[in-house]
Structure 1
Amino acid sequence: MRQVSIKPPTPSARVDGYFANIGWKPFRFQRSVWKAYMQGCSGLVHSATGTGKTLAVWMGPIQKWLKENPDDACWNPKRPPSLRVLWITPLRALAGDTEASLRAPLDSLGLPWRLESRTGDSKSSAKARQLKRLPTALVTTPESLSLMLTHERLLEQLAGLEAVIVDEWHELLGTKRGIQTELALARLRKLNPQLRTWGVSATLGNLEQAESSLLGVDPAGEARMIQGYRKKRLKFQSLIPAQMERFPWSGHIGTKMVPQVASLLDQVTSALVFANTRSQTERWYQHLLKQRPDWAGKVALHHGSLDTSVRRWVEDALRDGKLRAVVCTSSLDLGVDFTAVDLVIQIGSPKGAARLLQRAGRSGHQPDAESRLAFVPTNAIELIELAAAQDAIRSGRLEARPLLNKPLDVLAQHAVTIAVGGGFDPDELLQEIRSSHAYQSLTQREWQWVLDFVVRGGSSLAAYPDFHRVEIVDGRYQVTQRRTISLHRMNIGTIVSDASMQVKYLKGKTLGTAEEHFLSKLQPGDRFLFAGRLVSLSRIKENVAYVRRATGQPDSVPRWTGGRMPLSSELSAALREKMEQAADGQLVGAEMKSLKRLFAIQQRWSVLPRREQLLIERIETRRGHQLFVFPFEGRLVHEGLAALLAYRISRVQKTTFTMACNDYGLVLQSPHKIAIKQWIADGLFNTEALVPDILRSMNSTEMAKRQFRQIARVAGLIHPGYPGQRKNTSHVQASSNLFFDVFCQYDPDNLLLEQARREVLELQLESSRMITALDRLEDSEIIVTDPPKVTPLAFPLLVDKLRERVSSETLADRIRRMQTQLEKAADQ
């Protein structure tokens, strides 16, 4: 009898079988990625959230290995293949979930691969084992990848790497962590010129820039941009107050909508309730439990300052369908696959169409499922933002991520990293660095300055041995001092935040971290909301705040830095379009129709500005002369614009200004009447000499000092100390201020000083956007009105000014009385 040999299934057939087992069928874009990968290409996959991007990039390496190893009888799980794939995730909190998603097809197909994670949360025993032999596929973060490059013994294994996959590239793009990733990728390509690089992205406007930043200046093989599902089925709804006030103010709706939110949660199995700040999540969590005490244990809290164990418990419970709702921040924006979530609730405007789309995609996290999002305004005018965001999403006008250009603090850190990991030849490393998009224009002078800085601390610190980190041995730049190596490895990274303290029960578990500047202001016994609990401070000892459970009302809620999100330029433009439609009486959608009475009063007393118009309202009150200006350009632009206008006017007319800003406009208050029409005619909005005027108006030295603290930390001038012995904020601040002053006096051409000033202009003041705004305003028709009363657009700005004043009555009572008076005037 003749023996018939059975051919093993093809790699494609095996992958199709896996998809069939999970009830799916591969999409065309996924097959396109697999084909491109097999051809040796690199590229970027752009597809909506929850449409199969992970499998699109993961199955390429799997199919290639299956093609090279078709006989599964030869597979040996005890001898897994060497390192083939590096998966970079933007958040270490996502590593566990990413690993679980990648493991599913490996287990189903029976592949003998070893898949592991390596992040700051990984056990030291796992890291030590990986230093000897890396797994077949490794999930890691930009920081951990940089740390791996400091270990010379790993370079040979990294040289054998076949592919690097960067997840959620849109989150890293335009940040220093993204720059750190670009530099690490350039190093990996140097180790293996045939390396495939693939990125995964969603909700992004500048795709071509994103691709070139990921792949570098001259990528090996063909570069491919593969579009997946750009549009998912979306359903938006707004929870509109039964009685819409015509004179709104920021935050006044907010928790008044808790009953409506609870009613909506009653109708679904599981939901994510997104708030824009961690403080807001703490408040909403408490209000929901107060509204529905029976939901205790079914509603949870999730934000980045909670302890890792708490966050993991919440993620697991949500995934298992045990929670009705999780009140969260952007900590759940990315990556984690919660197919059980069937509704997203957004509290307050997300300030960008891309962010709204990203969060909506957390519900219905499957290719064919509908994503549902309910919007809860904290201010009536935010309803216009939602209407504008929906228009922007429908027309595909998503936000671009502005790119950073050759930050030298990150480059200095990277140079030390490579010097620790075996050393470098300066000319070869320069060529490698220039292959990255961010540093393609790096000059020989700038590179020589960086080398001088890492070798001897630059011209002003040459006398101090602590700053002689890198040595030149036979023309090769290396780090040989054990202390320098240890300090560098402990402080690799580009995220710099205020110093934080652990928050722990006197006897019991850790709740999370809160920033030192908040905790240091508390007295023993002060009560505050944290991790969804009311606690009181007992004492602070050795950088730990010890608390106990408390009852009654909180004295405060922690405020974390980075909470304020400015309106994006794309959403600003869409918002101006909606205002023009309202001026023409075109109120499309429930959101715009709900504001009909508000628009009517604005038009009766003043004007609803069109896109090519700038509205300025002059109103005299008991406190002085108020100038309300409405560019609709976002808070950061308005802050810089307010200071600039006040500076230009006060140079000629002696007066004092107080000011307030929001995303829609700004107000300047002066005891003297301002001849605004004459100032406009004389070039108030002129862009000539703009940058010097901005720097003078914004107390640029203090702002540059604050920005320099971050740069000094990243560049390695200061470090926060050893684990368990962290220096406090005031110590780090004093050290960075000392360096700043020394450089200003003895080394004024120091390139880190230049970088600090540039980052103040671009990151804190958005000067490029301000210049664009001023150009637009200069060409606009300027309408100056004198309303009889404070208008609906001006009222929120007036309230923001009131917040700064000390009054014997509560702010809410004062505002309510003002609203009543204005409502009566509007009805007459």
Structure 2
Amino acid sequence: MKKEQALAARLHPRLRDWFFASFPGFTHAQLLCVPAVLNRESILLTSPTGSGKTLAGFLGVFDSVLRELESNGLKPGVRCIYISPLRALAYDIEKNLRGPITGMGLENELRIHLRTGDTPASERTKFRNKPSHFLVTTPESLAILLAQQSYAQHLAHTKFVIVDELHSFAGNKRGADLSISLERLQMLRGQSNLCRVGLSATAAPLDLLAQFLVGKNRHCRVAEARIEKEQIVDVFSPIRRDPYPPSGYTGVRLYAELSQLIRSRQSVIVFTNVRSAAEQIGLRLREQLPELADAIEIHHASLDRSVRLEVEDRLKSGELRAVVCSTSLELGIDIGAVDLVVMVATPKGVSRAIQRIGRSGHSLNKNSHGILVATNVNDLVEATVTAKLVRERALDPIKILDKPFDVVAQHIVGMVALAPASVDSIYQLITRARPFHDLTRKEFDRILHYLEGGGKALAQQYRGVFGKISVSDDGTVSLAHPRVAREFLVNIGTIVSEGFVDVMLKRRRLGSVEEGFIKGLQIGDLFVLGGRVVRLIDTGVQEAFVERADGQLPTIPRWNAAKMPLTSGVARAVRQLRADLAQQLRRETNDSLCVDWLVEHYQISLANAQAIVEQFRAQLAVSDVPTGDSMLIELYRDDDFSHYFFHALIGRSANDALSRIVAWRMKNRSGGNALVTIDDSGLLLTLRRFQELTLEDWRLCFEREGAEEDLRLALRGSELVKWQFRGVAQTGLMVPRNYPGHQRARKQMHWSTETIFR
């Protein structure tokens, strides 16, 4: 109580009056965060969803702005930048900020600018001429603003930066990009340190993420708010007691159960792991629930912005009974009407599961409720351990991406697009960002050399084409030509262009699908987008024209969305369950005792436990239960082929690397190629019968020595390397995605990348 009174006394009276008229009191998250922001201390706040953490970041900002307004008047210029990982979240925060501003009667004094890739040119011009005090943006749009003097001058007054969902940035290139942008913002600010506020519901490890937020040799307070409401997580499987149901049975039961949940709840979000599944499930639910069809929508990143915003607004207002989405509604959006989250297929990690479950009961006085749906026994085991880890809040640790050179190259051009700078000052700025703290001067000089002419292989003949910068004798870096700045502004960002075609219904853009999908269609073919069946009637340049075809049988689009890999924490927990249950089954002949043990230890239903035990018992009868202690290899032969399955529950990404090493070594021993199939649980090698190896030969294929070199040889010239090179070449500004005034055709980008790669 004393802490609440003390904090209330520190707030500006106008802010204090609005707050207590709107809320009963401070949450624990706010008591931890607001004093730090008032003191201009950087802070990383980790707090459960629905605990008021976003307002915790903004309360101290509002206090500062009110006091400035009261003392000298509020001059134009940005005071606070809010950075979001998703455009949907940025849009949501921009709307939510208007509540306190209106509540305090500051509509005429405080302005908000929402800046994303969707922002109209008229709004951008308005901000350039009359800057707002609050800027709500994404990492990509922030980098664009920092590279133009007409915008950057407005950012020099920034006192606060709030990075929401910090964990979503730390392990990827978008985060590396953001970390340098924050250092450039600090450079504009001068000697006075920015107050950086990082918010996350699933941050781990905290000390490392605090370093990521503030950079090298700066203090950051770390605060962990207590959990003030219950998070309920259940496991459901349509397979019941039989682990091997007849074909089609699980699908029929899945849709029947989902329909019943939607009927019985106020509003439900159904998460899938890929966009094609969202389209398929959304369409089937509309068929199952014709009376609610208009209140069931689909939401994913390939849908047009207007479609997405309409769905978000209807969801927030309580109009919708269900939204089926992929990952697009996963982070931070305030959707208080939702009272249940259903996850069809496990989300492959504890932190992602917690984020998704937190979309329900997204207010202080409501519990969050999530259901993990498993459609086969392997999924059921994964869902069972995921639910247990969620209850224990055993978060997935995040690993910061280490010094991606293409991001450095992009920022060097961005910095000198604003003004020439010395080599030393650029190097010092970049290495203050945590992902680049160990970037060596030799590595940095190589990046400079690359930017001067495309690197050693290209500079001799094509310096004029690939050269972005010039370095003078005194070490000053400047642009090689004024056109570089114009080209740079339309090629900023680390998100690789994926080659999608716009789908147009009359004059409205419905969304986009893969080029490859459209190429496989004929005029008159039917497919699904936005949960509605449409008929292809014509195609143009990067456009496909459709008409509605309600009630027709569609072809579901196969989105180019990579499946998410299993996290190491969940994989470890699955291996532990396997080992413990296998030990029980070897010791007990009475399966009911093993079922009881599963029910007690993992809090699952009797039917789910029976299905798991029956499958494990069958596995022991014909083979063994794979655990982490040894490598189980199972061999199945048909007329022409031998199929080796290697049980390695280490996740899809690790198995991808492992399979390439093993297949390369197998080829060197027996000749010929192997057909490789991977998933989270292991890898399948399909060989011709003459290629079969002995157990001792297989042992040699898994030797640790020389693994890195064999992986490098296996990858040489592979499509994977070409695809990765395509992304690096785009981010590193070697292959432009766009030219000023128009977008490059996908075929042109592919041709350019292929030519350079060869």
1:677 to 695, 698, 706: 695
- Provide the aligned length of Structure 1 versus Structure 2: 725
Pairing 1:617–2:614 present: no
How far did residue 246 of structure 1 move? 2.9
- 1:240–1:594: 8 Å Cα contact kept in structure 2? no
1-side partners of 2:77 and 2:507: how far apart? 43
1-side partners of 2:247 and 2:198: how far apart? 39
1-side partners of 2:552 and 2:690: how far apart? 43
Question: Which residue of structure 1 lines up, in the alignment, with residue 235 of structure 2?
Answer: 238
2-side partners of 1:613 and 1:705: how far apart? 35
In structure 1, what residue type is equivalent to 2:214? L
2-side partners of 1:183 and 1:269: how far apart? 44
Pairing 1:531–2:542 present: no
In structure 2, what residue type is equivalent to 1:63? D
Pairing 1:211–2:228 present: no
- 2:452–2:466: 8 Å Cα contact kept in structure 1? yes
- 1:244–1:380: 8 Å Cα contact kept in structure 2? no
Cα deviation code 1:152-177 (max 9, x no counterpart): 23434322211111111111111111
The 5 Å alignment of 1:328-339 reads: 328-339=325-336
- 2:533–2:554: 8 Å Cα contact kept in structure 1? no
Question: Which residue of structure 1 lines up, in the alignment, with residue 367 of structure 2?
Answer: 370
How far did residue 702 of structure 1 move? 3.3
Question: Which residue of structure 2 lines up, in the alignment, with residue 587 of structure 1?
Answer: 598
Pairing 1:324–2:342 present: no
Pairing 1:476–2:487 present: no
1:587 is paired with a residue of what secondary structure?
A: helix
How far did residue 60 of structure 1 move? 1.3
Question: Which residue of structure 1 lines up, in the alignment, with residue 751 of structure 2?
Answer: 734
Question: Which residue of structure 2 lines up, in the alignment, with residue 438 of structure 1?
Answer: 435
Cα deviation code 1:528-553 (max 9, x no counterpart): 11121212222221221111223665
The 5 Å alignment of 1:438-477 reads: 438-462=435-459, 463-464=461-462, 465-472=464-471, 476-477=476-477
2-side partners of 1:676 and 1:215: how far apart? 54
- 2:275–2:561: 8 Å Cα contact kept in structure 1? no
Question: Which residue of structure 2 lines up, in the alignment, with residue 93 of structure 1?
Answer: 88
1-side partners of 2:54 and 2:390: how far apart? 23
The 5 Å alignment of 1:629-640 reads: 629-640=646-657
How far did residue 213 of structure 1 move? 1.2
TM-score by length of structure 2 reads: 0.90
The 5 Å alignment of 1:687-706 reads: 687-698=704-715, 700-706=717-723
Question: Which residue of structure 2 lines up, in the alignment, with residue 562 of structure 1?
Answer: 561
- 1:205–1:397: 8 Å Cα contact kept in structure 2? no
- 2:81–2:135: 8 Å Cα contact kept in structure 1? yes
Question: Which residue of structure 1 lines up, in the alignment, with residue 4 of structure 2?
Answer: none
| Pairwise CA RMSD | 2.5
- 1:251–1:378: 8 Å Cα contact kept in structure 2? no
Distance 1:377 1:426, change over 3 A: same
Cα deviation code 1:562-609 (max 9, x no counterpart): 331111111100111111232123323224343222122112222223
2:360 is paired with a residue of what secondary structure?
A: coil
1-side partners of 2:756 and 2:507: how far apart? 41
1:274 to 271, 284, 287: 271
Distance 1:20 1:483, change over 3 A: same
Worse-superposed segment, 128-137 or 340-349? 128-137
The 5 Å alignment of 1:10-159 reads: 11=11, 14-68=14-68, 82-111=77-106, 112-159=109-156
Question: Which residue of structure 2 lines up, in the alignment, with residue 822 of structure 1?
Answer: none
2:337 is paired with a residue of what secondary structure?
A: coil
1-side partners of 2:424 and 2:80: how far apart? 29
1-side partners of 2:541 and 2:630: how far apart? 57
2-side partners of 1:395 and 1:402: how far apart? 21
Question: Which residue of structure 2 lines up, in the alignment, with residue 597 of structure 1?
Answer: 614
Distance 1:644 1:683, change over 3 A: same
Cα deviation code 1:745-799 (max 9, x no counterpart): xxxxxxxxxxxxxxxxxxxxxxxxxxxxxxxxxxxxxxxxxxxxxxxxxxxxxxx
2-side partners of 1:250 and 1:716: how far apart? 50
- 1:162–1:196: 8 Å Cα contact kept in structure 2? yes
- 1:80–1:114: 8 Å Cα contact kept in structure 2? no
- 1:582–1:608: 8 Å Cα contact kept in structure 2? no
- 1:274–1:347: 8 Å Cα contact kept in structure 2? yes
How far did residue 86 of structure 1 move? 0.9
Question: Which residue of structure 1 lines up, in the alignment, with residue 589 of structure 2?
Answer: none
Distance 1:98 1:706, change over 3 A: same
2:513 is paired with a residue of what secondary structure?
A: strand
- 2:166–2:203: 8 Å Cα contact kept in structure 1? no
1-side partners of 2:613 and 2:147: how far apart? 62
Distance 1:555 1:100, change over 3 A: closer
In structure 2, what residue type is equivalent to 1:685? F
Cα deviation code 1:500-537 (max 9, x no counterpart): 111002x3321111121221222222221112121222
Pairing 1:649–2:666 present: yes
2-side partners of 1:460 and 1:619: how far apart? 49
1-side partners of 2:98 and 2:14: how far apart? 16
Distance 1:608 1:719, change over 3 A: same
1:461 is paired with a residue of what secondary structure?
A: helix
1-side partners of 2:702 and 2:281: how far apart? 41
**What percent of counterpart residues are identical?**
33
> Unmatched 5+ residue regions in structure 1?
1-7, 742-828
Question: Which residue of structure 2 lines up, in the alignment, with residue 756 of structure 1?
Answer: none
1-side partners of 2:630 and 2:17: how far apart? 60
TM-score by length of structure 1 reads: 0.83
Pairing 1:201–2:200 present: yes
Pairing 1:258–2:276 present: no
Distance 1:418 1:96, change over 3 A: same
In structure 2, what residue type is equivalent to 1:678? E
1-side partners of 2:153 and 2:745: how far apart? 40
2-side partners of 1:333 and 1:82: how far apart? 32
Distance 1:442 1:167, change over 3 A: same
Cα deviation code 1:284-343 (max 9, x no counterpart): 111111111111211111111111111111111111111100111111111220000000
2-side partners of 1:93 and 1:280: how far apart? 20
1:382 is paired with a residue of what secondary structure?
A: helix
Distance 1:721 1:646, change over 3 A: closer
How far did residue 54 of structure 1 move? 0.3
Distance 1:107 1:158, change over 3 A: same
Distance 1:250 1:669, change over 3 A: farther
Question: Which residue of structure 2 lines up, in the alignment, with residue 400 of structure 1?
Answer: 397
How far did residue 252 of structure 1 move? 7.8
How far did residue 479 of structure 1 move? 2.9
How far did residue 483 of structure 1 move? 2.7
- 1:10–1:67: 8 Å Cα contact kept in structure 2? no
- 2:44–2:197: 8 Å Cα contact kept in structure 1? yes
Cα deviation code 1:662-713 (max 9, x no counterpart): 2222223331484543235x53322110012223334554322221111111
In structure 2, what residue type is equivalent to 1:131? R
How far did residue 555 of structure 1 move? 5.6
Worse-superposed segment, 445-454 or 619-628? 619-628
Distance 1:620 1:475, change over 3 A: closer
2-side partners of 1:258 and 1:245: how far apart? 18
> Unmatched 5+ residue regions in structure 2?
1-7, 585-593
1:296 is paired with a residue of what secondary structure?
A: helix
1:504 is paired with a residue of what secondary structure?
A: strand
- 1:248–1:379: 8 Å Cα contact kept in structure 2? no
Question: Which residue of structure 2 lines up, in the alignment, with residue 753 of structure 1?
Answer: none
Cα deviation code 1:387-443 (max 9, x no counterpart): 111222233321122222111111111111111112212111111111111111222
How far did residue 661 of structure 1 move? 2.5
The 5 Å alignment of 1:295-444 reads: 295-444=292-441
2:30 is paired with a residue of what secondary structure?
A: helix
